[in-house]
Every structure is written in C-alpha cells, then in structure tokens.
Amino acid sequence: MDYAIESTELVKRYGARRALDGLTLAVPRYAVLGLIGPNGAGKTTWMMSIAGLLHLHSGTINLLGCGPFDPALHSGRITLLPQDSELPLESRPIDLLTHYGLLQRLTRREAKRAATEMLREVHLGDRLTATVRSLSHGMRKRVMIAQCFIGSPELVLLDEPLSGLDPREAAHMRTFLTRRRGRQTLVISSHNLNDIEAMCDRVAFIEKGRTVRNTTLEEVVGKNSTLVYRVTREPADYAALTAAVSDATFSFNAETSDLTCRYDSRRFTAEAINRILLPALLAQCDVSTITRGDNLENAYLNQVIGNG
Amino acid sequence: MSTLVQTWHIACYEWFDALRSRRALVVLLLYLAAAVCNMHWSINLLHRLESELATALKLPASEQAGVVSTALWKSKPFQRMMKQMTRNDLVLRDITGKHPIELIYAWFAFFYTPLLVVLVASNRIAEEIGSGSVRYVFFRTSRASWSIGKFIGQMFMIGLALLLSGTSAYIVAKIRLAGSGTPDLFFNMVQWSLRAWVYSIPYLGLAMGLSHLTRSSSKATVMGILAITACFVLSILIRHFTTDTGWRAYLPHLGQLLPDAHKMLLWRNAPAPLIAGSATLITLGFCYLFTGYAFFRTRDV
C-alpha cells in the first residue's frame, strides 16, 4: 500500500510524561483518516510532530515517501490546521493567504487567485480585506481552514477543524471536507465522532500516546458484522435470540432503545441474520428500524472504553 | 534559490505587517515628531546664541538662525571643544567640514535609533511564537528563512523611519535656518540616515535575537531594553577601566563585540573606514540574531 504518512515508534516526552509513547501510525494516500482519542492522548502532539513543529525524542517519520518533514521537500505539499493558534491580527485574510501561497512557491498571480477562491469557498468572499482582528472567532476559524487548502497540498492535517463553527458553517465545512475524498489525504482530529463518521473513511484510536486501532470506518462500526434494531422494549428472553443465532452477542442501550447484534461475518450475512433473528425478536417486541453497523460513538466506546 | 525567494517574501510581508501594526506606527510617528522637535529646538538654541553674540558685539541681530553659525563652526576654539568631545582627530577632521545642522541630526539619529529599534522590533518574534501564528509558517518555510526574513523586514522598517526623520529634519532646517535649503544638505541628511540605519542593525539583531528566547511579547521588550542599556553601560565601563598594561589592556578587544566600538567609523568620510565599520556592524547584527536563533531552532513551537 502507498502511504502518505508512515510514523513508527514515535516518542515525545514532556518532562517525565510521555505524550507519544511509541506511537505507530500509517495513513494510506488519499485516505480521510479520523483521529480519535481522549484529551491528552497524543493526537495534537502527533500532528505537530508530523508537521515538524515539535522535536521527537525517537522514532521515524516518512512523509509522502520523502523522509521526515523538511521544508525544502515538503513545502506546499503538507499543510496543517493547528489547534489554539492565532493568525496575525493586523493582517488581512487575502494578504495573509496570498503570502502563504507565495511561501508554497506559487506565483503571485496563482497565490492571489487561490487565496480568493479559498476564502470564497469558506464564505468569506465579503471579508477579504477586513483585518483578522475584526473577524469573529468562527470567521477566523474559516480563514484557518482556508489556508490549509491553498495550492492543493497532497496532505492536510486538521486539528479540531469544526470546533467553534456555527451549525450552518459546520455543515458546509463537512461537505467541503468530504468533497476532498480521493483527491487529497486528510487527517482530521476531532472529539465529535458524528463529524468523523460523516467525513472519514478510516479511523485511528489513540490512547496514552499509542495507537490502539487503525482501520477502515466500515470495519470499526461493523458494517458487515453488526446489526442494530430499534425496538419498542428490551427483549425479555435473550436465550431465545442466542439460540436463533449461535455465536452472536447482544447488547441493549436503554437510552436509545437499540438492540445491537454482533455476529461472525465469515459465517453469516446480514440478510441471513435478519431472516433467522427477526421472528424470535418480533415475538418479544416491535422493531421500527434496522441499521447495518453501529454508530461510531458506540463502536468507539465499546471497543476502547469497554476494553479498558 | 527558493530559500532566498522565501526569505524575501517573508521580509516584504514583515515590513507591510509592521507598518500595519499600531504599535510600530505610533513609535514611528513619535520618532518623526522627536526628530522634528529636536531640529526645531536646536535651531532655536542656535538662534538665541547668535542673537546674544550679536548683542555682545553690538551688531544688528539677524531675523533667521544660522547666519554666524557656519563661521563659528570653523573657529579654532570651537574646534578645540569638538576635539575634546570626539577624542578622535580623524573624526574631527571629517565632521568639521559638515553643516552644523547635519551634525545635530546625526547626533539625534545615532543616539535615539537603538531606542527606536527596541520599541519597534523587540517583540516581533516573541509575539508570533506566543500567539502560535508561526505554526502557519513553519510547514511552508524553514525557521532560518523566517527569522532572517523578519530581521530584514524590520531593517526596512527602521530604514524607512530614519529616511522619513531625515527628510523631516531637512524640511524644518530649510524653513528655519538661513542658507540651509540646498540639495547638498538634503543629500547629506539622507546619508546620515543611512549611516544611522547601519548603526541600528546590531541593535536590531540583539533585540530580535533575544526575542527568540521567549513567548512573551512584553518580556521580549524588557529584555531588549535591558540588553541595549547593558551595551551602553559596558561600553562606558570598558572605556573607563582600560589601561595600557595588565588584563585591563585587553578590555578594548572585548569592546569590539559591542556596536559602540565601531560607531565612530560611520562618522568618517573616507570610504575605507566607512565600509569596514558598516561590514562589522552588519556582521555583529547577524551574529546576535543567529545566537538567539540557535536556541530557537531546537525549540518546540
């Protein structure tokens, strides 16, 4: 497989604390990878290390097949949306993004055109010449997102891209980022798992500076091994269900009234499970919807916190 | 080649950004006002001295200042006084040929430029490290390009301030001083601005080098002020304690690391000392900057 990022055994310490504790993570080219983990898990540290902003204590990084980050090799090919970083307040978005484009070796004309297009794309076409100081928090965030896509870089690292945006702009940005699938490699770190589920095709779980899981979204949510039934009440007789589908496990979420059935995808298809299970289930309760695969939040909580 | 181009882009952007920043604009305006006021008060003083001299000699007083200043300037007692002040025959020989107004401006520019540098530039790097805005730049260009670009951008800024102050001082002199509106004087004032600009470069390097060491804008300004004060104090101490024998005889060598030791070379007319002085001061500026950068390049941002 062709990888945009191959990071192996990364270690970054802050005093005695290990922010990255031998983290190994590879991101295939053109993937949209969601980075999930609790606060302090090492997501931001990993991104900053990839972009060359932090110095690692050990480990190797191979970016776009050209070794670790080097501005001479990677300028214009990799961009980053850092967390909690202000833009220069007296600058105007159009000047700032044109400047960034020039640093990425675009010509002045190309840089200005790209800057204008990107700012229009993030709905700031009417604020091109306002100072950053005069923009609201959400608008600044959109300028920050726009700067990532100047000059169509091959790899874009986005740390909490949708935090601070109003619902309409967040939805627009989700669409904007989803449209990038297959054209660029994106790594998106977010605590909002619904956003990750909507935008990403791969996910990586990070815990205590290590990668716990790195796979496709389909596999994590169990598109081929999980069925979720929304039922009117919790089934009283689980033994009847287990007898219908041997090896399947069942869990019930009282809040959502969802009954989750996890089965061995090598033995059964979803259609086969429905055919066998539904009569036994309908004998105990009504079923309003059937969904293939769990939602990401449940899958994450189940796999990481459940195991922890 | 592309690194040089990136450095150039950063320098140009830094210049425009500095011009837009309120603090730099306020300091620039204050500096201009100070240059104009200094010239105005100096001419007033000159006029008063001339009037008193005319009264003592029972001559009719002149309406405009500067009528007898040029003659006074060339008189033996005045030159003896200047010799005491400069303590350098070569410099004295060079400056006695100058128009007094040039020297008033030159004194002002050389004395206040370090202060201008600290107030305008000392926080530029620390501010961006502190706010995190450097993080948008360092995946696009190298840290070295960024630091050098910022330094060159600030050099442009200080150069502009000095050129404007030189021009303003010339305009005041032209209005208020007899026989001073010549193109030669304007050219000479611009030349003094350029010399003061070269003199500002090591102070700029010092202030911006220190700015690499902290994330706090105000701390960087304080460090800049302290460092420049220390430079002045050290220069004075070295001059005071130097003797011909013993370890104190080596103190002037230590003094070579300070900008003040090379200042007088910029007051000379001959190209050789002027070029040597300029080269040394520019080198000192870059050395100070790179010392701060050496620490910064290993730091996380």
pLDDT tens, B115-142?
989 988 999 999 999 999 999 999 999 9
Query: Does residue B92 fall inside a structural domain?
Result: yes
Minimum CA–CA partner of B6 in chain A: A103
Looking at residue B299, its pLDDT comes to 92
CA B103 to chain centre: 14
Looking at residue A295, its pLDDT comes to 85
Residues of B with CB under 8 A from a CB of A: 2-3, 5-6, 9-10, 13, 16-17, 20-22, 128, 131-133, 135-142, 145, 298-301
Nearest Cβ partner for A52 among B3, B136, B139 = B139
Q: Residues B242-301: pLDDT tens digits? A: 888 888 888 989 999 999 999 989 988 889 999 999 999 999 999 999 999 999 999 999
Residue A308 has pLDDT above 60, yes or no: no
* CATH superfamily membership of A3-220: P-loop containing nucleotide triphosphate hydrolases (3.40.50.300)
Looking at residue A1, its pLDDT comes to 78
Indicate the average pLDDT of chain B: 88
Yes or no, beta carbons of A71 and B298 under 8 Å apart: no
For residues A186 and A81, the answer to whether their CB atoms sit within 8 Å is no
Yes or no, beta carbons of A91 and B6 under 8 Å apart: no
Query: Does residue B288 fall inside a structural domain?
Result: yes
Torsion of CA B209, B212, B216, B222, to 10 degrees: -20
Q: Which of B7, B19, B139 to mutate to test the interface with A (most CBs of A within 10 A)?
A: B139
Minimum CA–CA partner of B125 in chain A: A88
Q: Residues B133-169: pLDDT tens digits? A: 999 999 999 999 999 999 999 999 999 999 999 999 8
Query: Does residue B97 fall inside a structural domain?
Result: yes
- CA atoms of B17 and B81, how far apart (whole Å): 46
Residue B207 has pLDDT above 80, yes or no: yes
Summarize the confidence of residues A43-66 as an average pLDDT.
96
Q: A42: part of which helix (H) or strand (E)?
A: none
Query: Does residue B82 fall inside a structural domain?
Result: no
Residue B224 exposure: Cα atoms within 13 Å on the Cβ side? 31
For residues B62 and B54, the answer to whether their CB atoms sit within 8 Å is yes
Residue A270 has pLDDT above 70, yes or no: yes
Looking at residue B67, its pLDDT comes to 59
> What residues in B contact A69, CB-CB < 8 Å?
139
Query: Does residue B67 fall inside a structural domain?
Result: no
End-to-end Cα spacing for chain B: 26
Looking at residue B100, its pLDDT comes to 78
CATH topology of domain A224-292: Alpha-Beta Plaits (3.30.70)
Yes or no, beta carbons of A80 and B16 under 8 Å apart: no
Kindly tell me the burial class for residue A239, based on how many C-beta atoms sit within 10 Å of its own C-beta (0-12, 13-18, 19 or more): exposed
Most confident of A192-196, A221-225, B31-35: A192-196
> What residues in A contact B137, CB-CB < 8 Å?
100, 103
Residue B19 has pLDDT above 90, yes or no: no
Looking at residue B43, its pLDDT comes to 83
Share of chain A above pLDDT 90, in %: 81
pTM metric for this prediction: 0.87
Confidence of residue B59 (pLDDT cuts 50, 70, 90): low
Same fold, A3-220 and A224-292: no
> Six-digit token pair at B180?
């001073």
Residue B1 has pLDDT above 60, yes or no: no
Summarize the confidence of residues A54-76 as an average pLDDT.
95
Summarize the confidence of residues A78-89 as an average pLDDT.
94
Kindly tell me the burial class for residue A287, based on how many C-beta atoms sit within 10 Å of its own C-beta (0-12, 13-18, 19 or more): middle
- Shortest CA distance to A251 belongs to which of A265, A269, A263? A263
Q: Which domain holds residue B109?
A: 2-61+88-296
Minimum CA–CA partner of A101 in chain B: B140
Q: Residues B187-204: pLDDT tens digits? A: 999 999 999 999 999 999
Give this complex's ipTM.
Answer: 0.88
Looking at residue A196, its pLDDT comes to 95
Where in chain A are the domains? Answer: 3-220, 224-292
Q: Residues B20-54: pLDDT tens digits? A: 877 778 888 888 888 888 888 888 887 787 778 77
A252/B contact by beta carbon, under 8 A: no
> What residues in A contact B3, CB-CB < 8 Å?
72
A51/B contact by beta carbon, under 8 A: yes
Looking at residue A228, its pLDDT comes to 92
Query: Does residue B72 fall inside a structural domain?
Result: no
Minimum CA–CA partner of A153 in chain B: B140
Size of interface A-B (CB pairs under 8 A): 86
Total domain count, chain B: 1
Confidence of residue A307 (pLDDT cuts 50, 70, 90): low
Looking at residue B23, its pLDDT comes to 75
Confidence of residue B176 (pLDDT cuts 50, 70, 90): confident
**CA A156, B9, B131, A117 torsion-angle sign:** negative
Looking at residue B61, its pLDDT comes to 63
Residue B68 has pLDDT above 70, yes or no: no
Specify the 3-state DSSP secondary structure of B124: helix
Summarize the confidence of residues A208-217 as an average pLDDT.
94
Query: Does residue B76 fall inside a structural domain?
Result: no
CA A82 to chain centre: 15
Looking at residue A56, its pLDDT comes to 96
Give, in degrees to the nearest 5, the angle at Cα A267 between A282 and A229. Answer: 30
Nearest Cβ partner for B301 among A53, A91, A144 = A53
Minimum CA–CA partner of B129 in chain A: A85
Looking at residue B224, its pLDDT comes to 96
A66/B contact by beta carbon, under 8 A: no
Share of chain A above pLDDT 70, in %: 99
Least confident of A296-305, B76-85, B111-120: B76-85
Nearest Cβ partner for B133 among A71, A79, A87 = A87
